[in-house]
Homo-oligomer: A and B are copies of this chain.
Amino acid sequence: MSGDLHITGIRPMGKAATSVTVRGGRIAAYGEDAPPGMETIDGGDAILIPGLVEAHTHLDKTLLGMGWYRNEVGPRLIDKIENERAEKKRLGIDPARQSARQAVLSVAQGSTAIRSHVDVDTEVGLSGIEGVLRTCEAYRDIVDIEIVAFPQSGMLIRPGTAELMEEALRLGAHVVGGLDPSAIDRDPKGHLDVIFGLAERFGVPVDIHLHEPAELGAFSMELIVERTRALGMQGEVTISHAFCLGMADRDYVASLIDALAEARVHILTTAPASRPVPPVKRLVEAGVVVAAGSDGVRDTWGPYGNADMLERAMLVGLRNNFRRDDEVEMALDVCTYGGARLMGLDGYGIAAGDRADFVLVEGETLAEAVVSRAPRRMVVKNGRVVARSGRALVEAP
């Protein structure tokens, strides 16, 4: 297929019905008649939105398709981390196969780009990175996958990990990841110096998991902002989870939000219902890029998740008490344009000239599409149909 398409009966962002013409994998025009000889599809009056962006997940560790995993894990963070390292061996979680399964599910749900953190530690070494790199390559025609080298088990506390992170970047990981500089790695300055040092040497962005609560997380956030400024990495740094922004001290939060906006540090939220969360509306209104992700999808950490970023938009809405249509639309924006800005996706959008990465979703309005979460009518990647009626046209392994 050539990446040429003509689709009638689509409503861009829920507006009046028109047609869209795609040429060479890019959106060429709206409202044209069907060009002679071009494949024409009926859009069924669905809403056209840009491809959903899964901006934070863990493709290497999903258990999709492996039979039900009975979770009997203890309550502490360290229980989950240690359980996972043990289960990886016992269950034979193959990163290439598993990442392909989740990637195909993502495509079926309308995601056209994925940022995946991938574990790097002294037990699995680089096998996760290598496996997800294979999926990234094998499925490059249907989804863009960006890989974050992620020290899930800690970095400084597990000697040898920093060297493996460096090797991961050499192999082709696209982003350097970090994790709770104080709470896990016990040395915030040391942790961040290594992470930002790698980013500088390899010229890659940074994405740091920050679960640290309240004032402890806020201190780490300040250190991250300082380094972002000092290295001129504005726009290249993401803080994932950022639970500290959900703390009670509103004035402190306001000062942090100002600092994030000024240093153009992005915030990634999964909108968990059981944890404090970054206030999406306040962040967006302050000009901070906010994106969202599924986090783990059915893994040893927990049974939830279906890689549906339209459902994630709903969860962002529920968590932030978004009830008005303009607020629900903001949640959807987080799961589309927000993710695209965080990942720096080139040519993202639905204007003429943009890459033809889009989804046809069912609903009278954008808000209805979000709360209904009906199976996606169609998903188009680089001008080619990659999923229909909630099913990917490519088989998962």
What are the interface flags for A145-161 relative to B under an 8 Å C-beta threshold, 1 for contact and 0 otherwise? 00000000000000000
Contact B272 A318 (CB under 8 A): yes
Say whether B367 contacts A274, CB under 8 Å: no
Query: For the complex formed by this chain, how many copies does it contain in all?
Result: 2
**Closest CB of chain B to A62's CB: distance in Å?**
13
A323 near B68 (CB under 8 angstroms)?
A: no
Q: Taking the complex as formed, is A304 at the interface, i.e. its CB lies under 8 A from any CB of chain B? A: yes
For A363, give the chain B residue with the smallest CB separation: B68
A166 CB–B CB distance under 8 Å: no
Given A303-B367, A371-B298, A323 and B67 contact (CB-CB distance below 8 Å)? no
CA–CA, A321 and B365, complex, Å:
32
Shortest distance between the CB of A70 and any CB in chain B (Å): 5
Q: Is the CB of B324 within 8 A of A68?
A: no
Q: Which of A318-362 contact B (CB under 8 A)?
A: 318-321, 323-326, 328
A270 to B363, CA, bound (A): 25
A317 at the interface (CB under 8 A from B): yes
Q: Complex Cα distance A67/B370, Å?
A: 15
State whether the Cβ of A204 lies closer than 8 Å to any Cβ in chain B.
no
Q: Is A287 an interface residue (CB 8 A)?
A: no
The listed residue (B68, B272, B318, B372) touching A365 by CB distance below 8 A is B68
A315 part of interface (Cβ distance < 8 Å): yes
The answer on a CB contact under 8 Å between A318 and B371 is no
Q: Is the CB of A274 within 8 A of B321?
A: yes
* Contact residues in B for A70 (Cβ distance below 8 Å): 325, 365, 367
Q: Considering only CB atoms, which chain B residue lies closest to A305 in the complex?
A: B371
Q: Which residues A89-141 have CB closer than 8 A to chain B?
A: none
A318–B273 touching, CB < 8 Å: yes
Say which residue of B271, B302, B326 sits within 8 Å of A323 (CB atoms).
B302
Does A303 lie within 8 Å of B273, measured CB to CB?
no
Q: Does A314 contact B (CB under 8 A)?
A: yes
Chain A contact residues: helix, strand, loop or mixed: loop
Q: Please, what's the 1-or-0 string for A354-397, where 1 marks a CB less than 8 Å from any CB in chain B?
A: 00000000011101101110000000000000000000000000
- State A370–B364 Cα separation when bound (angstroms): 28
Cross-chain contact A314 with B323 (CB below 8 angstroms): no
Q: Does A219 count as interface, using CB distance less than 8 angstroms?
A: no
Chain B residue nearest to A315 (CB atoms) is B273
Cβ proximity bits A293-314 to B, threshold 8 Å, 1 near / 0 not: 0000010011111100000001
Known: A273-B271, A364-B68. A323 touches B298 (CB 8 A): no
A72 at the interface (CB under 8 A from B): yes
Which residue of B is nearest A274, CB measured? B321
The answer to whether A324 and B273 touch (CB under 8 A), given A314-B304, A318-B304, is no
For A324, give the chain B residue with the smallest CB separation.
B71
Which A positions have Cβ atoms within 8 angstroms of B? 67-68, 70-73, 271-275, 298, 301-306, 314-315, 317-321, 323-326, 328, 363-365, 367-368, 370-372
Question: Besides the contacts A68-B368, A272-B318, what 20 more A-B pairs have beta carbons closer than 8 Å?
Answer: A67-B364, A70-B367, A71-B323, A71-B324, A71-B325, A71-B367, A271-B273, A273-B273, A273-B315, A273-B318, A274-B321, A303-B323, A303-B325, A303-B368, A303-B370, A304-B318, A305-B371, A306-B371, A306-B372, A315-B318
